[in-house]
Structure 1
Amino acid sequence: MRFQGAVIREQGITFAVAIVKQHVIDCRTSARDTINAFAGVFPGLPIVLMAQDSRGRPSYFGRPDIARFLANVPLRAIPWREYTLS
């Protein structure tokens, strides 16, 4: 499975963000399972999930401090790239 994500280093913290469908974030169990699945792609990094609503507004699930930080970062400023989850 291919997905869009990014590894970001900010304020001394390196973390990953991955784009998922809104329904993944809407269900805490699915969101946690998805974070666990992405751990193989981003070993040792905190992972935050991002989904966009129908208007393109992002919402985040993951470590609260990182999610709050990302809520103030324009999506175009994130260095997105394609990853593969086996």
Structure 2
Amino acid sequence: EGDFNRTVEGSFRGHKSMKRVIVVDEDIDIYDDRDVEWAVATRFQANRGLIVKREKGSSLDPSAEPDHTTSKVGMDATMPIGGGRKFIRD
């Protein structure tokens, strides 16, 4: 959980325009949308792996508030510790 929070926070700090971060394990190809979506579908649970924040975003975002505040979301699509084989893609 700590790594997930630090990864999301660091991503938002590093790129103010970023509105969504999905954290995955090393077995997921981050360049393959299907792989990332598979991880979300099989490993993500919103009640324990979701961060929603309101903070400054891009001045170019038309959906942001006049002060450029916007909503940002972080999703934990990693395997639970000790999750076993059921979380490994065959």
Which protein is richer in strand relative to its size? Answer: 1
Q: Quick check: TM above 0.5?
A: no
TM norm structure 2: 0.30
Larger radius of gyration: 2
